[in-house]
Chain A
Amino acid sequence: MNKANVIQELRALASEGMPDEPEVAAVVEQASPEGEEGAAPKKAAPPAPRKNGVLEVDYAGKGVHVDAQVKADQVVRAAQILDEAGMTLEAITGVDWINDKELEVVYDYSYTGGECFRVVVRARIPRDQANIPTISEVFPGANWHERETFDFFGIHFEGHPQLEYLLLPEDCDFHPLLKDFKGC
């Protein structure tokens, strides 16, 4: 597997439709874009969402080699790039960034064919319109991971063959990992 190629392809994908982004490799500490952030600033606020881009991160400190932020409609193509490179899907999960009014979908990929290589792909979607395409056509293993993410976050994976509760009871009407979940 050619790691440099994978990084280059992901970078090309992530920079699509972002003509104004000069250099994607830098860590972008971006202020909140529209100033519509409702929550009061806190002392230890989580890092602001960065712009689309691919970072090569410190593996020893973070546990992954490449961190790629793409747009929601690009996750399938990101999966195809990594599938063609022979990588495997380790997990899909979500993170609720309630202060940004966004949900993040996180895809963990690893390489089992030789030298260790871990890629994380992330995409952010608005909290009130939590839709993202399914990658279960590329990786059938994504089927359950996406169902689990639907359970916990209520994220709708468009085109998923069977988006039903997997771990939670079939009649439940809550998503426990949303930060505004108050218990039941």
Chain B
Amino acid sequence: MSSQALSQNKERFELNLGPQHPATHGVLRVKLLMDGEYVVDAEPVLGYIHRMHELMGENRTWAQYLPNMGRLDYLSALSYNLGYVELVEKMAGIEVPERAEYIRVITTEMNRISSHLLWFGAFVLDLGGFTPLLYAFDDREQILDLLEAVTGSRLTYCYFRFGGCYNDVEDDFLSGCLAFIKRLRARMPMYHNLVTKNVILRQRLEGVGPISAEMCRKYGATGPVLRGSGINYDVRKNEPYSVYPELDFDVPVYHEGDSMARYMVRMDEMDQCMRIIEQAIAKIPEGPVRAEKVPKMIKPEPGDYYHAVEAARGTFGIRAVSDGKNQAYRMKLRSPTFSNLSLYQEASKGMLLADALALMGSLDLVIPEIDR
């Protein structure tokens, strides 16, 4: 590819971005073919943090595989916990107590806010603004403290169990969530004044890196990338699971398809997460948090099963094939940013390198989840 291109145009040169580069947020390498400051071709090179999670799924019992879920997308680990336990509950026919469902929703949405806050800080950092990162991490720290109290960990959560949650939440946690929402609500206008309305940011993002709805469809992009391209698709709404149908929230959709639209989708999503948490806390019933009859040895009926949830970055799907044993015959993990990144090569063609990095930031990549 490169030698041919070089012979056609001597101005072109190859540039290696990563795998150790702050803008790639992990160990992602991008092989760039440049014409001056313009990107001719950008080929992502994956696999630097590949751990073969899918093979691990085949040599662990269903329960032993649970901790792996926190190590895919470590920034929104609870969504992955939720997807996996719901799949196994679907396979084994386990009923979940209602209180546990509400706890799952509250903690998952708190986790989604913390993930978006981290993305917000890191994304603005990519664009050269250091200060917002410090504010975002200050807020995110509050969530980590709250979730640490119930889940026992700050990052790679493994909190949900088949048929419920590991333990009940205390009133301190619920009131802490409400206090946090009050705090974040008060700080959102500051974020918008400081960052969203910032003329430098707007000029870096508006009209930059357009991704059409059709391109999203052809590449299977989901989540905020898809919703920033004008498609109203959210698994929580379109394919409801847990108690989301009982909660009233909107799906933010922006039609511009540029980096700014994806930025706005995530900022608005944080507001919606807060709405969901408030309603869930108001509605949470008393009761047990673990189903009574959960078999110690789970042996689902042979066959294959699929379950999808809305993770912070898009549709996380699991396809599990059971042969009736207490281990999966095959465990396929469909991670959202894998598909979201796959459109990068096409979407970044002809962009300035600095804009291409803004585009990459707006995709919100988490490399351990891409490489699995």
Contacts and interface: CB of A to CB of B under 8 A. Distances in A.
Contact of B330 (A95, A143, A166, A167): A95
B304 A62 contact: yes
Interface in A107-148: 108, 110, 112-116, 118, 120, 139-141, 143-144
Contacts of A19: none
8 contacts: A63-B87, A64-B306, A89-B220, A91-B220, A91-B332, A95-B330, A120-B304, A144-B339
B321 A90 contact: no
A167 B319 contact: no
B90 A140 contact: no
A118 B371 contact: no
A61 B339 CA distance: 26
Contact of B306 (A47, A63, A89): A63
**Most chain B beta-carbon contacts within 10 A, residue among A61, A152, A167:** A167
A95 B55 CA distance: 12
Contacts, number: 116
A93 B319 contact: yes
Interface SS of chain A: loop
Interface residues on A, range: 35 or more
A167 B239 CA distance: 30
A139 B220 contact: yes
B46 A167 contact: yes
A99 B54 CA distance: 20
B55 A165 contact: no
Given A62-B306, A63-B90, A144-B338, A177 B219 contact: no
A25 interface: no
Interface of B: 46-47, 50, 52, 54-55, 58, 87, 90, 216-222, 226, 231, 233, 238-239, 302-308, 315, 317, 319, 321, 323-325, 329-330, 332, 334, 338-339, 342-343, 346, 371-372
Contact of B222 (A45, A106, A112, A113): A112
A74 interface: no
Closest 4 CB pairs of A and B: A63-B306, A44-B324, A141-B219, A91-B334
A41 B90 CA distance: 28
A95 B329 contact: yes
A103 B251 CA distance: 40
Contact of B303 (A47, A89, A93): A47
Give the most central of A47, A87, A115, A143: most B CB within 10 Å. A47
B46 to A, nearest CB: 6
A120 B306 CA distance: 10
Contacts of A87: 217
B319 A108 contact: yes
B63 to A, nearest CB: 19
Contacts of A152: 54
A91 B342 contact: no
